[in-house]
Amino acid sequence: MELTQLEYFLEVARTEHLTKAAETLSVTQPALSHSISKLEAELGVPLFERKGRNLQINRYGSMFAKRVEKILQEVDRGKKEIDECANPESGVIHLAYLNILGVGFIPRLIRDYQRANPKITFELTQGDKGTILERVESGYSDLLITSERPASEAYEWIPMISMPLYLVVSADHPFADYESIGLKEITGEPFVGLKDNCGLKDSLLARVHHQNFTLAPTYDAEDLPTVAGFVAAGLGLSVLPKAAGLNLEGLRWIRIEDEGWAWEVGLHLKKERFLTPAARNFVSFIEGQAGAGGSFSA
């Protein structure tokens, strides 16, 4: 059963005349007659009583017409909703992002974009790296802002900001008065790490391996604010970016002397994913900001 068949059927039901209905629909009378006959054959009952070129809808046709009218109304509503969602000036952008970015970075990004595009709205999802990647893979979110470059060639990566990483200790730690430090000095110190669902963990482990020193993990926290809380309580030290929501009372931030210790945040963009005009414009905005030297603020 095709949508066109249903539209043809309703017009014939309204006019009860093949010729008039064919003219209204801009189809030939034989084509219209064939469509109605095919629909009746599929349903297994006649929908009209035939009197030459005139038709009279019967009880089966009346029953069916009520349902078809509702179906076509819902289809029209669906088309309008999609049009509103995809409209480049007033559409909806479905964006997923890491939890920690929701404290400062994402609100500022949306604020800056909506200043120039006030009718655009955002459907937001935040979570750990696995949760938000699954949202994009399943099609519920179109775009993903995270701190880990894509491992799959199915994604593009648009860097947005790069923040230096710091060694973080409690105020009463022996390192608390240091202005800078080489990370080999922390070998054997109790270290507050991250569970696998946090985007920063893989970056930290890769840098530790590359610079040939070891960590002594004491706790593995679910997220960066929890890491900051454990460090502030004196339960170990860690490495964190100076992101909003992490600068707790009782923390000391020490510059890392080793090269390459930075936390990069960027946009994951699935290459084959359909993007609405609204979403494409947002991607262009991010590309423009990144190309202008990175005017995003952490």
pLDDT of 245 over the 90 cut: no
Residue 106 has a pLDDT of 92
Beta strands, E only, 183-275:
190-194, 216-221, 238-241, 251-256, 262-270
pLDDT of 171 over the 60 cut: yes
Residue 147 has a pLDDT of 84
Report which residue type is found at 246: L
Residue 294 has a pLDDT of 54
- Which residue ranges make up each domain of the chain? 3-86, 93-159+266-291, 160-263
Percent share of the chain, pLDDT over 70:
88
Residue 189 has a pLDDT of 85
Percent share of the chain, pLDDT over 90:
38
d(CA 213, CA 216): 10
Bridge partner residues of 266 (DSSP): 146, 159
Cα dihedral 121, 160, 202, 186 in deg (nearest 10): -120
What fold does the segment set 160-263 form as a domain?
Answer: D-Maltodextrin-Binding Protein; domain 2 (3.40.190)
Q: Confirm whether pTM is higher than 0.85.
A: no
Residue 44 has a pLDDT of 93
pLDDT of 97 over the 80 cut: yes
93-159+266-291: CATH, from 2.40.30.170, 3.40.50.300, 3.40.50.970, 3.40.190.10: 3.40.190.10
Confidence of residue 209 (pLDDT cuts 50, 70, 90): low
Residue 117 has a pLDDT of 93
pLDDT of 111 over the 90 cut: yes
In CATH, what is the architecture of 3-86? Orthogonal Bundle (1.10)
d(CA 235, CA 83): 53
> What is the DSSP code (8-state) at residue 100?
G
Residue 18 has a pLDDT of 87
Same fold, 93-159+266-291 and 160-263: yes
Whether the Cβ atoms of residue 237 and residue 175 lie closer than 8 Å to each other: yes
User: How do residues 17-71 score in pLDDT, each as one tens digit?
Assistant: 888 989 999 999 899 999 999 999 999 999 999 877 678 999 999 999 999 999 9
Cα dihedral 7, 10, 16, 22 in deg (nearest 10): -10
* Across 234-259, average pLDDT: 86
Report which residue type is found at 261: W
* Across 109-130, average pLDDT: 91
pLDDT of 154 over the 60 cut: yes
Kindly tell me the burial class for residue 275, based on how many C-beta atoms sit within 10 Å of its own C-beta (0-12, 13-18, 19 or more): middle
Alpha helical stretches, state H, the chain: 3-15, 18-25, 29-43, 59-86, 105-116, 129-137, 199-210, 224-232, 277-291
Nearest to 17 by CA among 61, 53, 52: 53
* Average pLDDT of every residue of the chain: 85
Confidence of residue 248 (pLDDT cuts 50, 70, 90): confident
Alpha helical stretches, state H, 99-161: 105-116, 129-137
